[in-house]
Amino acid sequence: MSDLRKVSANPHVRSKITTSTIMLAVVISLLPATIFGIYNFGFKAAVLVVVTVASTVLTELLYELAMKKRVTIGDFSAVVTGLLLALNLPAGAPWWIGIVGGIFAILIVKMLFGGLGQNFMNPALAARCFLLISFTSIMTNFETDVYTGATPLAALKAGESVNVYNMVIGKVSGTIGETSMIAILIGACILLLLGIIDLRVPGSYIVSFVIFLGLFGGHGFEWNFISAHLAGGGLMLGAFFMATDYVTRPVTVKGQYIFGILLGLLTCIFRVFGGSAEGVSYAIIIGNLLVPLIEKLTHPTAFGKGGAKK
Amino acid sequence: MAKLTFAGGIHPYDGKDLSKDKPIKDILPQGDLVYPLSQHIGAPAVAIVQKGDHVLTGQKIAEAGGFVSAPIYATVSGTVKAIEPRRVVTGDKVMSIVIENDGEYAEVDYPEPKPLEEMTREEILDCIREAGVVGMGGAGFPTHVKLAVKEPEKIDYVIANCAECEPYLTSDYRRMIEEPEKLIEGLKVSLALFPNATGILAVEDNKMDCIELLKEKTKDEPRILVKGLKTKYPQGAERTLIYATTKRQIDSSRLPADVGCVVNNVDSIVAIYNAVHHRRPLMERIVTITGDAINKPQNFRVKIGTNYHELIEAAGGFRKEPAKIVSGGPMMGFAIFELDVPTTKTASALLCMTKDEVSQLEPSACINCSRCLEVCPSRIMPNLLATLAEHHDEETFVKYDGMECCECGCCSFVCPAKRHLSQNIKSQRKIVLGKRKK
C-alpha cells in the first residue's frame, strides 16, 4: 500500500493569488504616495515611515511569539497597516508617535480581536484617531521645515482661497501621504488594474461626497470649492486605500454602494459642520462599525430563488 | 448581441490543447472488467448473473433496482468471475460484477430497431431505459427519468450540454467534431418526445469549429438551434446553462422541467441515439486521458468496466511520476489514491498532474476580500457559509441558502487565503441532505 497517492477534495487547481500577493500589491501601490511624501517633507518623513512600519510588524511578531500562535507577518498585512498609518501622520510628528500608533493599531485593534480578518475597524485609521484624540497638538501641527501655516482644507474652512493646482500635485502641507492627489491616483490605478479593488466603494464614496458637499457645503457646485475638497485632506487616500480595506468594508455588492454613500455623507457632515477641517478618518471608522449591519441587510438573493414551482 | 452567459464564474487554465487534436481511438480491454452496480444516482442495479455464468457483449448483467435506477450491460464476452465489493473512484467499495474477458467479443443479437417516426413516446422511453442511459457528464442521473416529465407539451427547450467547461476535458469536443450526426440524431429523438420543444446545441465559444460544423449540419433542421456561449467555468452546470441559453432560472428546489427545459450531456445524447436507432445498450464512452504526467495525452473510446491502468498504458504510460491523479476534470473530479478502479458510465477523464497544487496548501484567515461572492454562480456567500459549516451551525447555514450551492468549486479556486470553502460547504450540505432523507 506504499504507492498510494495523495488525495484532496476538488477543485484540484487554485488561482495564483494569495493573501501575501494582494498585500504586497497594496504596499507597492502605496509607494508613489510614500515617495512623494518623503520628497515633499524630507528626511524626517522617511524616518517616521520606517519606524511606524517596523513598529507594526514587530508588534505582530512579538504578540504571536508570546501567544505561541502561527507567525503571520509573512502576509504583509502588518506592513500595509504600518505604511497607511505613517502616511496619515504629520511629517513633523516625533518618532515615538509612530511606535505608539503602530502598537495600538496592531495590538489593540487587530490582534486582540483575533488577528487578520477579524478587526472590526481599519487598524491604521483607528490608531490615527486614537493619536488624534490623545496627542491632539502633535497630530494637528502641520508646521514643518518646508511648510508653515494651515493645511489647505483648514484654510478653505477659514474662508481663505487655496491653490488647487498645488493641491493636486501635492506641494502643500498635510500628513505625509495625503497631499498628492496624483501620486495616490497612480497607486489606485495599479490596484484597479490588478483587480485588487474595484470602483464600487471609492466611486460611490467620492460621487456621493461631491453631491452632499454641493447640497450642504454652502458654496453650491462651485468648481474651485469642490475640487479643493476632492484634492485636499485624506479623501483620495481614504477612498482608494482605506475605505476599500477588505476586512472592514461589506462583502456584498449592494452593501458596498451603501457603505460608499454613507462615507460620502459622513465625510461631508464632518468637514462642513465639524470642528475640524478633516473628516475622512472618522467617517471611515464609523462606517466600519456599521458593516455587519449593512451586510446583514444586503444579503444576496441566491440564484433562481423564489421562482414559482410548477 | 451580448454573449450568452451567467453572473460569476472563473477562467482557470484550460489545458485542452494537450488532447484536443487527438482523434478518438478505440481501445480493447485486456484484463478483467469491473461493473459497479451503483454507477448512477438512485437505487443500485441488481445483478442477474451468477459467478461462473458465461456472458456475451451487450448482454444485460444487472437489472434496474427501481424507477430511478439503470441496468448494466456486459461490454465484453467472458465469464463472471466474482460478484464482490470493489474500489471505485470515490474511494468507496461498491458491490460489483467482475467479468473475465475471453477476448472474443462475441455479441448478442440486438433487437431490430423501429423507425423513429413509428415509435410512440412510451416505446422511445422504454428503449432509453432498457439501454441503461444515464447523465454522462458526471452526475449519472438516469436519463429516462429526466425525459419522463409529466407534461411533455410544456417543455420548450431540449438543451444539449456541449459546453464542456471543465478544464482539460476534450471528450465531448472530439465527439462533436467526429460524430456530429449522432449528436444531432440523438437530439432529434429527445425532440420527438416533446412536441413543442426547440433543441439547443449549447457550445462554449472556445470551440468555434464545433459551432460552425454543427450550424452547417443543422441548417435544414428547423427545430434545432446552435448557440455559442461565453467560455467560462461553470458554463456547463445545469442551472447556469439553462440561464445562459434561455434566461430562465431555477434554484435547488426545482427541476429544469419546472421552467420548461430538459438538459442532456453530449455523450448521453449519443447514447440515446444508439439506444433508439440501433437498440444498443450503453457500453462505451469517450474518456480523455491527459495531464502533464502522461506521455501521449489523447481521447479513447473506452468500454465501461475497463481498468484505469489499461487507459494509462494505452496513453503511453507516465512521462513523469504523477503527484496527483484525478478521475474527471480538475474542478469537479475525484482525486484517486490508486489506479485499480474501473471506468464507469460517468468517468469523463483521467487527469494525471505532476504537481499537486492543493494538498500542501495551508488555509489562512479569511480577509473578507469577497472574491468568492463575485465568482459564485449560485450568488450565495461562500465565506460565510463555510464558516457556518465549520461551526456546524446547520440552521443558519440553511437560512443563508447553503443548500443552493452547486458545488462547482469556484470559491475555493479564487480564495487568496486558500480556505477549503467548497469542501466545507459540501460536507455540510451532505449532512443536511442526509437528515432530510430520514
Q: Does the pLDDT at position A150 exceed 90?
A: no
CATH number for region A19-297 = 1.10.3430
Q: Does the pLDDT at position A142 exceed 60?
A: yes
- CA A209 to chain B, closest CA, distance in angstroms equals 24
A9 with B420: Cβ contact below 8 A = yes
Work out whether strand B198-204 and strand B224-229 pair parallel, antiparallel, or are unpaired: parallel
Q: What pLDDT, in 10s, does the model give residues B187-219? A: 999 999 999 999 999 999 999 999 999 999 999
Residue of A nearest to B371 (CA): A251
A3 touches chain B (CB under 8 A): yes
Closest-CA residue to A16 (of A29, A7, A25):
A25
B422 with A11: Cβ contact below 8 A = yes
- Per the CB < 8 A criterion, the answer to whether A170 and A181 are in contact is yes
A6 with B333: Cβ contact below 8 A = no
Region A112-120: mean pLDDT is 92
Chosen for mutation from A13, A16, A294 (greatest number of chain B CBs closer than 10 Å) is A13
Of the residues B277, B297, B318, the one at which a domain ends: B277
Residue of A nearest to B369 (CA): A246
- CA B419 to chain A, closest CA, distance in angstroms equals 11
Of the residues B252, B277, B302, the one at which a domain ends: B277
- Distance from C-alpha of B69 to C-alpha of B63, rounded to nearest angstrom: 9
On whether residue B181 sits in a domain, the answer given is: yes
A306 touches chain B (CB under 8 A): yes
- Distance from C-alpha of A202 to C-alpha of A257, rounded to nearest angstrom: 9
Q: What confidence category does residue B62 fall into, taking pLDDT thresholds of 50, 70 and 90?
A: very high
- Distance from C-alpha of B109 to C-alpha of A126, rounded to nearest angstrom: 81
On whether residue B60 sits in a domain, the answer given is: no
Residue of A nearest to B410 (CA): A11
Percent of chain B with pLDDT over 90: 81
Q: What pLDDT, in 10s, does the model give residues B233-292? A: 999 999 999 999 999 999 988 889 999 999 999 999 999 999 999 999 999 999 999 999
Q: What pLDDT, in 10s, does the model give residues A239-292? A: 999 999 999 999 999 999 999 999 999 999 999 998 888 889 999 999 999 999
- Complete DSSP assignment for B56-85: -BT-EEEE-SSSS---EE-SS-EEEEEEEE
- Distance from C-alpha of B148 to C-alpha of A197, rounded to nearest angstrom: 49
On whether residue B67 sits in a domain, the answer given is: no
Q: What pLDDT, in 10s, does the model give residues B319-353? A: 998 999 999 999 999 999 888 999 999 988 999 99
Produce one character per residue of A249-258: b if its CB has 16 or more CB atoms within 10 Å, e if not. bbbbbebbbb
B416 with A21: Cβ contact below 8 A = yes
pLDDT score recorded for residue B252: 87
Question: Which cell numbers in the block locate residue B36?
Answer: 459497479
User: Is the preceding omega at residue B234 within 30 degrees of 0, hence cis?
Assistant: yes
Average pLDDT score over chain A: 92
Q: What pLDDT, in 10s, does the model give residues B82-117? A: 999 999 988 889 999 999 999 888 999 999 988 988
On whether residue B21 sits in a domain, the answer given is: no
Region A29-33: mean pLDDT is 96
A299 with B325: Cβ contact below 8 A = no
- Distance from C-alpha of A4 to C-alpha of B91, rounded to nearest angstrom: 12
Q: Look-up: residue for cell 437530439?
A: B187
- Per the CB < 8 A criterion, the answer to whether B270 and B182 are in contact is yes
- CA A20 to chain B, closest CA, distance in angstroms equals 8
| Domain assignments of chain A as residue spans, ordered by start | 19-297
pLDDT score recorded for residue A1: 41
A302 with B251: Cβ contact below 8 A = yes
Rounded to two decimals, the ipTM of the complex is: 0.90
Q: What confidence category does residue B2 fall into, taking pLDDT thresholds of 50, 70 and 90?
A: low
- CA A289 to chain B, closest CA, distance in angstroms equals 15
A301: chain B residues, CB-CB within 8 Å: 379
Q: Look-up: residue for cell 479623501?
A: A235
Q: Does the pLDDT at position A309 exceed 90?
A: no
B414: chain A residues, CB-CB within 8 Å: 15, 17
Region A95-124: mean pLDDT is 94
Q: Does the pLDDT at position A310 exceed 60?
A: no
What is the rounded (10 degree) CA torsion for B133, B135, B139, B142? Answer: -50
A25: chain B residues, CB-CB within 8 Å: none
Q: Does the pLDDT at position B424 exceed 50?
A: yes
On whether residue B138 sits in a domain, the answer given is: yes
- CA A22 to chain B, closest CA, distance in angstroms equals 8
Of the residues B215, B249, B277, the one at which a domain ends: B277
Q: If you count residue pairs, one on A and one on B, with CB atoms under 8 Å apart, how many are there?
A: 175
**B238 and B125 together in one domain:** yes
Residue of B nearest to A4 (CA): B337
Region B5-23: mean pLDDT is 91
Name the domain count of chain B: 2
On whether residue B102 sits in a domain, the answer given is: no
- Distance from C-alpha of B149 to C-alpha of B155, rounded to nearest angstrom: 9
pLDDT score recorded for residue A83: 97
A248: chain B residues, CB-CB within 8 Å: 368
Q: What's the domain range around B168?
A: 117-277
Region A151-171: mean pLDDT is 86
pLDDT score recorded for residue A308: 58
A302: chain B residues, CB-CB within 8 Å: 251, 378-380, 401, 404
* A3-12, B82-91, B300-309, B369-378, range with the lowest pLDDT: A3-12
A117: chain B residues, CB-CB within 8 Å: 365-368, 417
Amino acid present at A59: T
User: Is the preceding omega at residue A11 within 30 degrees of 0, hence cis?
Assistant: yes
CATH classification of the domain holding B190: 3.40.50.11540
Question: Which cell numbers in the block locate residue B394?
Answer: 446547520
